[in-house]
Amino acid sequence: MSITFDKDRQLLTLETKNVTYQMQTDNYGFLHHVYFGRKVNGSDMSYTNVSYDRGFSGNPYDLRYNRAFSLDTMPQEYTSFGVGDFRVNALSVVNADGSYGADFRCVGHKVESGKYSIPGMPAVYDNGGEAETLIVTLMDQVTGLKVHLYYGVFEDKDIITRCVRIENSGRAVARLEKAASVCLDMPFGQWDLVHFHGRHCMERQMERSPLIHSIQTIASKRGMSSHHHNPFVILCDREANEDRGDCYGLMFMYSGNHKTEIEVDQLENTRVVMGIHDAQFLWNLRPGESFWAPEVILSFSPDGFTGLSHNYHNIIRHNVCRGKYKLQRRPVLINNWEATYFDFNEKKLLEIAKQSAELGVELFVLDDGWFGSRNSDLSGLGDWFVNTEKIKGGLQPLIEQVNALGMKFGLWIEPEMVNEDSNLYRAHPDWAFYQPNRAPSLARNQMVLDMSRADVRDYLYNCISALLRENHIEYIKWDMNRALSDVYSHSLAPERQGEVSHLYVLGVYDLMNRLTRDFPDVLFEGCAGGGGRFDPGILYYSPQIWCSDDTDPIERIKIQYGTSFGYPVSTMGAHVSASPNHQTGRTTPLETRAVVAMSGTFGYELDPSKLKKREKQEIRRQIEEFHKYYWLIQDGLFYRLTKEEPGRFFHAWQFVAQDGSESLVNVVITSPQPNSCLIHVRLKGLDPDAEYVIEGHSRRFTGSALMYGGYTFPLVSGDYPSMQVHFVRV
């Protein structure tokens, strides 16, 4: 039983393998947050909640003679604006009479076996007997508004999920101005905030800084989870490192606007509120209706960043990603984008396919430019019909020729967008977002389709499902190349425009759900101008996401490093591209490009006809090597051996088989030095008492020697060299 209730103390305790989470209802119905952290084996932790009278922190009316009791200082599970808690709140509601009050008191709870799901939205799922659900219900007696707090407890995986259902059981419309998914109060401790910021071609750069007395916000108002701030934060103790220290993770399972506010308050308490961004959000909750705030995946590890990452890797790989390719070996692909951009015809494509088939590539992906009048980014989006001037005879004959080479065929689409210069826009201008009497802002010459509309989604479903039915397509890359602005639905009344941004995301999920359900054999890869929508919401529909449009391996190390804190290697789309690199102009060895791309789903994105004979041989070797290490890389435990820091001249990371039987260590010299210092790393995760050899060598090392003493790599020189060393247990 991972959820227990002590009736006398009104204490609810959630326990996983290593973690305890506790809350308590008092005599007045207020729901206190009591504890979240290292396992305390059922101890009642409520003694830690001590309160005193604090000036300017008022008291609820029914506790007016107890000046020590204040919502402004008490740790809570969920908080609302307007009734005396002046810290960041999770909920802000405007009642029918214009008031802002919502005074939530606990009216009951229930425990269910299995994991709750959320209608129309992605949520972590139970593979059978893994999880329990707790639902705690709070109610505002005046309006009848109810808040149902959902907790999904994955005991073996050290994961607790949370989401909220707000139910209007009153008689008047309630307008939600803010409806966050989680409020997490951390009454003690001083914390560092770790978050993952960036920009296009430079996603998920890890940044760590101490929290100060303020409200710090990690957010996106771009209608997408964004290149700029991933919806994932870690709070760790000031001394935490890869191996040690308390780390709390909050990951938002949502692909649209998001906001995480972290406040350190007057008494040094930390509060984290995570949910849908309140910008342009105003949800009309009519009587009888419910609003579901998306899920947050919470985890705690006392074992530093590595422990926390392993928890997230495990849950995402096994309880977020779905479908045939979740755990099945995925094909090594070649994508024609950086080889041709828009400039191709079927002959050129077939030549790329033919040459890459000879190298051992298994899947040919035709990227942007195959449809409508798409010869540049000026036109064509929305017209999902093959351009037979470019691909004579249409798609199926091309696919047959690719299949005859022994390769699968994959296709790029960008369903959510439309060009002004397209038949779709000419026929349905009102299907795009723009505000009345205003010209829309364009990005990459495109506009955003109103995915809140069922007719738009049906059109897209019909186009894409016809493509998938009529052609033997085994992979889809689903791209999205601009942020949302001018958000306005021409099918909704003015007072409902504050719902559109969220309805857009629900619409995207609906289309993804229909397509992945109806075409279960197709491998879907998410993409948004690289990694602009790299989040667990998208991973629920596609088990991999193109990590970044930057394919420079030296830059990619930083991107994949940051990504690895929350997401497993099996989700990171990574390709070997041409050198000099198209984004940075840097020249790097082919070997290094492959070492980096192998720490992802692995593929190529170059024109093989431009390769020298030696390079082709090298690619053949790389693909064989990737096959050999496939399960070690994709299923093994991932360890960061180095961190991003000034003066660092090499980076190293390691995969260890779950049973400790083998390990692959990767090293890349990212800043070659003259008269170089030694490259020395301490390995991790090995069996300390076992002996290991480097494959093909006889010298034995104990696991403890490699972990505590470390391993010194030979010095190598040149531009950005790399090494891979495979240790095998004897």
CB closer to ligand DGJ out of 549 and 662: 549
Restricting to residues 540-579, which ones interact with ligand DGJ according to CB under 6 A?
546, 549
Whether the CB-CB separation of 77 and 12 falls below 8 Å is answered with no
Torsions phi, psi of 33, nearest 5? Answer: -85, 135
Residue 479 binds ligand DGJ, judged by CB under 6 A: yes
Residue 526 binds ligand DGJ, judged by CB under 6 A: no
CB closer to ligand DGJ out of 479 and 662: 479
Whether the CB-CB separation of 195 and 259 falls below 8 Å is answered with no
What is the dihedral sign for C-alpha 194, 196, 197, 201? positive
- Residues contacting 284, CB < 8 A, separation 6+: 173, 175, 495, 496, 498, 499
Place of tokens 């000419």: 426
Least distance CB 525 / ligand DGJ (angstroms): 10
Least distance CB 361 / ligand DGJ (angstroms): 17
Whether the CB-CB separation of 540 and 321 falls below 8 Å is answered with yes
Q: What x-and-dash track marks residues 321-360 binding ligand DGJ by CB under 6 A?
A: ----------------x-----------------------
- Which of the following is catalytic: 474, 535, 549, 605? 535
Q: What x-and-dash track marks residues 64-103 binding ligand DGJ by CB under 6 A?
A: ----------------------------------------
Task: Give the number of other CB atoms < 10 A from CB of residue 497.
Answer: 15
Least distance CB 368 / ligand DGJ (angstroms): 3
CB closer to ligand DGJ out of 170 and 529: 529
Which of 530, 536, 537, 685 lies at the binding interface for ligand DGJ (CB under 6 A)? 530
Least distance CB 514 / ligand DGJ (angstroms): 23
Which letter, b or e, does each residue of 659-690 get, where b requires 16 or more Cβ atoms within 10 Å of its Cβ? Answer: ebbbbbbbbbbbeeeeeeeebebebbbbbeee
Q: Of the listed pieces 43-51, 119-127, 133-141, 525-533, which binds ligand DGJ according to CB under 6 A?
A: 525-533
CB closer to ligand DGJ out of 446 and 642: 446
469 by Cβ neighbours in 10 Å (0-12 / 13-18 / 19+) ranks as exposed
| Percentage helix, strand, coil for the chain under 3-state DSSP, each rounded to 5 | 20, 35, 45
Which of 299, 481, 542, 588 lies at the binding interface for ligand DGJ (CB under 6 A)? 481
Q: Which residues pair with 6 in a beta bridge?
A: 11
CB closer to ligand DGJ out of 307 and 530: 530
Which of 246, 263, 368, 510 lies at the binding interface for ligand DGJ (CB under 6 A)? 368
Residue 383 binds ligand DGJ, judged by CB under 6 A: no
Active site (annotated) includes residue 15? no
Whether the CB-CB separation of 175 and 146 falls below 8 Å is answered with no
Angle formed at CA 413 by CA 607 and CA 568, multiple of 5 degrees? 75
Which of 527, 594, 596, 641 lies at the binding interface for ligand DGJ (CB under 6 A)? 527
Which of 367, 474, 535, 591 lies at the binding interface for ligand DGJ (CB under 6 A)? 367
Least distance CB 531 / ligand DGJ (angstroms): 8
Asked, as a colleague might, if the bond just before 646 is cis with ω within 30 of 0, I would say no
Q: Which of 255, 261, 275 is nearest to 526 (CA)?
A: 255
Q: Of the listed pieces 11-19, 172-180, 522-530, 708-716, which binds ligand DGJ according to CB under 6 A?
A: 522-530
Least distance CB 546 / ligand DGJ (angstroms): 5
Least distance CB 548 / ligand DGJ (angstroms): 8
Least distance CB 335 / ligand DGJ (angstroms): 7
CB closer to ligand DGJ out of 200 and 317: 200
* Structure tokens that stand for 317 in this block: 């790989």
DSSP string, 466-523: HHHHHS---EEEE---S---S---TTS-GGGGGGHHHHHHHHHHHHHHHHHHH-TTSE
Which long-range contacts does 5-8 make (Cβ < 8 Å, 24+ apart)? Answer: 5/109, 5/111, 6/44
Which of 291, 412, 425, 653 lies at the binding interface for ligand DGJ (CB under 6 A)? 412
Q: Which of 627, 620, 682, 684 is nearest to 657 (CA)?
A: 684
CA atoms within 13 A on the CB side of 154: 26
Active site (annotated) includes residue 474? no
CB closer to ligand DGJ out of 524 and 701: 524
Least distance CB 565 / ligand DGJ (angstroms): 22
- Which of the following is catalytic: 615, 618, 644, 691? 615
Q: Of the listed pieces 17-25, 181-189, 448-456, 524-532, which binds ligand DGJ according to CB under 6 A?
A: 524-532
Torsions phi, psi of 228, nearest 5? Answer: -90, -40
CB closer to ligand DGJ out of 337 and 384: 337
What is the dihedral sign for C-alpha 209, 90, 232, 300? positive
Q: Which of 565, 566, 564, 592 is nearest to 577 (CA)?
A: 592
Which of 507, 529, 636, 685 lies at the binding interface for ligand DGJ (CB under 6 A)? 529
Least distance CB 605 / ligand DGJ (angstroms): 8
CB closer to ligand DGJ out of 368 and 416: 368
CB closer to ligand DGJ out of 464 and 657: 464
**Which residue type is seen at 487?**
V
Q: Which of 582, 539, 542 is nearest to 563 (CA)?
A: 539
Q: Of the listed pieces 297-305, 314-322, 526-534, 561-569, which binds ligand DGJ according to CB under 6 A?
A: 526-534
Q: Of the listed pieces 80-88, 189-197, 463-471, 523-531, which binds ligand DGJ according to CB under 6 A?
A: 523-531
Q: Of the listed pieces 420-428, 452-460, 527-535, 625-633, which binds ligand DGJ according to CB under 6 A?
A: 527-535
**Which residue type is seen at 326?**
K
Least distance CB 449 / ligand DGJ (angstroms): 16
Distance CA 21, CA 36 (A): 4
Whether the CB-CB separation of 346 and 391 falls below 8 Å is answered with yes
CB closer to ligand DGJ out of 12 and 522: 522
The residue at minimum Cβ distance from ligand DGJ is: 368
H/E stretch holding 626 reads: helix 613-635
Distances (CA, A) of 335 to 52, 80, 557: 63, 49, 21
CB closer to ligand DGJ out of 158 and 368: 368
Least distance CB 205 / ligand DGJ (angstroms): 18
Residues binding ligand DGJ (CB under 6 A)? 337, 367-368, 412, 479, 481, 527, 529-530, 546, 549
Catalytic residues: 535, 615
